[in-house]
Structure 1
Amino acid sequence: MSTPRLLVIQPDETDPPATLGDWLTDAGAQLDIRRAWTVEIPDNLDGYQGLVCLGGGMNAEEDDTHPWLADIRRLLASAAHGGTPVLGVCLGAQLLASATGGRVTKADKGPEVGGYLIAKKDAAWTDPLFAELPLMPDVFHFHADVITSLPPSAVLLASSPKYPNQAYRLGGCAYGIQFHIETTVEIAQAWAHDSPEMAETAKPGTFDAANLTELHADLAETWRPFAARFVQLAAGDLQPATPPPNRTLPLA
């Protein structure tokens, strides 16, 4: 397998690549991590074989206080249109949706916080990245905004009872996941400390070290192979999905 070079955009200092970064490099990828509040976002993906966009505490269109978000959206839209493999995580998924015709709003049923199960949709069983996941994989949530409308071209891959748009694909290889797979116990506890009003909406004991350790072991079992498949996709060793007919991405 070749060594794909991935551009990893970190929109917020509180959400580094962490475990996901380790999984990607362990699978053979070379990472170029750009902390968006300190450096310019590239205009294009020349020299890169994939794009990863991480999470953050801001809204996907909060450009007035986080002006780099507009540049991230433009790059995500360009990647999705151009057929470059993309993985958007939580805020990254919201930015991808916003950039390609979807809608992101405040969560009308309250924040979604803690460890939960999501359910695969029918389309996931033939998807290159999602097919090998279990029917109901473990995820970690920490968000107060949601994707209320997917882009018109999106294929829904996973849902939950509270908020249905948990994972989706655009075209053959641009993915958004509304949950976190990159966290560590320490990161999750730091978020709870910094956002106590959100943490209080979780089940009792969610942020206890023992419970988080068990959850993150489950996350690793499921999502480490997922990250490896994304690297294979970027390297050209895994074929992209075949998009449904008559579905095109809207212009950004």
Structure 2
Amino acid sequence: MQSRLSIARLLIVQTGSTHLHGDYPRWFERALGFEMPLIRAHAGERLGSALDRVRPQGIIVTGSPLSVIEKASWMLELGDDLLRVGARGTPVLGVCFGHQLLARAAGGDVVQNPRGREIGTVRVQLTEAGRKDVLFAWARGPEIEVQATHVDAVDPLPAGATVLASNENTAAQAYRLSETVAGVQFHPELWAAAMRDLILSRRDKL
């Protein structure tokens, strides 16, 4: 799988910054094993110029300490742009903030989760659609363990979205909007030791 991924041209759309174990793009590069071009959307870099330069075969939209609830103009523009790119056939995966950004752009909403913060190694149950989806082809059963840290959640989902995974805290842990656009609330790129360090770094705020 890694060899096929490394051949593909993947573009990272960074939506915020962290200094834990590098930055958000570094997490994905560590997980996949190769470097990827990126744009810093939160710093004003535009998606269009990167598409012309990179001609990506897939796009990953990162997490962020920011909130989609803020409805900043760059967030609204980016969400619309990403949906258009997906509609033209380029796969787009939103992770955490990215998952929420795509859902809102498609007509859903994002709220502070009434069940509270979810942080740590959590269990997520795949739906029947999720068990058949290529996004979870690696899963060996109907339940997976993943790393998650979020306060906001998608609710409701956009019309026509298919739930791929859920748990007691968050009904929309993963969804698919179309053949090319999907989102996951959790962080597939994070590893358990990094999550431990993240929790320790935030212990005064938790």
Say whether the fold is shared (TM-score over 0.5): yes
1:22 equivalenced with 2:30 (yes/no): yes
The SS at the match of 1:196 is coil
1:43 equivalenced with 2:51 (yes/no): no
1:137 equivalenced with 2:144 (yes/no): yes
The SS at the match of 1:109 is coil
Range that drifts further, 72-81 or 140-149: 72-81
Describe the shift of the 1:102–1:115 C-alpha distance in structure 2 as closer, same or farther (beyond 3 A): same
1:182 equivalenced with 2:189 (yes/no): yes
Describe the shift of the 1:152–1:53 C-alpha distance in structure 2 as closer, same or farther (beyond 3 A): same
Mapped to 1, the partners of 2:32 and 2:81 lie a distance apart of 21
Describe the shift of the 1:138–1:75 C-alpha distance in structure 2 as closer, same or farther (beyond 3 A): same
Mapped to 2, the partners of 1:190 and 1:122 lie a distance apart of 32
> Is the contact between residue 41 and residue 71 of structure 1 (CA under 8 Å) also seen in structure 2?
no
1:59 equivalenced with 2:63 (yes/no): no
Residue 130 of structure 2 is matched in structure 1 by: 124
The SS at the match of 1:125 is helix
TM-superposed deviation, 1:93: 0.2
1:101 equivalenced with 2:117 (yes/no): no
Mapped to 2, the partners of 1:119 and 1:37 lie a distance apart of 32
Residue 116 of structure 2 is matched in structure 1 by: 110
Q: How does 1:223-238 map to 2 (within 5 A)?
A: none
Residue correspondences, number:
193
Describe the shift of the 1:123–1:17 C-alpha distance in structure 2 as closer, same or farther (beyond 3 A): same
Could you list the per-position Cα deviations for residues 36-70 of structure 1 after superposition, in whole angstroms to 9, with x for gaps in the alignment? 23351222734111110010111114244xx4323
Could you list the per-position Cα deviations for residues 117-138 of structure 1 after superposition, in whole angstroms to 9, with x for gaps in the alignment? 1001001222122234132111
TM-superposed deviation, 1:140: 1.1
- Higher relative CO (Cα under 8 Å, sequence separation at least 6) belongs to 1
Paired amino acid for 1:17: P
> Is the contact between residue 41 and residue 47 of structure 2 (CA under 8 Å) also seen in structure 1?
no
Could you list the per-position Cα deviations for residues 153-175 of structure 1 after superposition, in whole angstroms to 9, with x for gaps in the alignment? 21111110121100011111211
- TM normalised by structure 1 equals 0.69
> Is the contact between residue 96 and residue 176 of structure 1 (CA under 8 Å) also seen in structure 2?
yes
1:6 equivalenced with 2:13 (yes/no): no
TM-superposed deviation, 1:80: 2.8
- TM normalised by structure 2 equals 0.82
Could you list the per-position Cα deviations for residues 3-34 of structure 1 after superposition, in whole angstroms to 9, with x for gaps in the alignment? 321210111111512342234345xxx62122
Describe the shift of the 1:187–1:118 C-alpha distance in structure 2 as closer, same or farther (beyond 3 A): closer
Q: Gaps (5+ residues) in structure 1? A: 199-252
TM-superposed deviation, 1:82: 2.1
RMSD value, Cα = 2.3
> Is the contact between residue 61 and residue 69 of structure 1 (CA under 8 Å) also seen in structure 2?
no
The SS at the match of 1:102 is coil
Q: Quote the sequence identity (%).
A: 33
Residue 77 of structure 1 is matched in structure 2 by: 83
Paired amino acid for 1:40: E
Q: Gaps (5+ residues) in structure 2? A: none
> Is the contact between residue 31 and residue 189 of structure 2 (CA under 8 Å) also seen in structure 1?
no
The SS at the match of 2:48 is coil
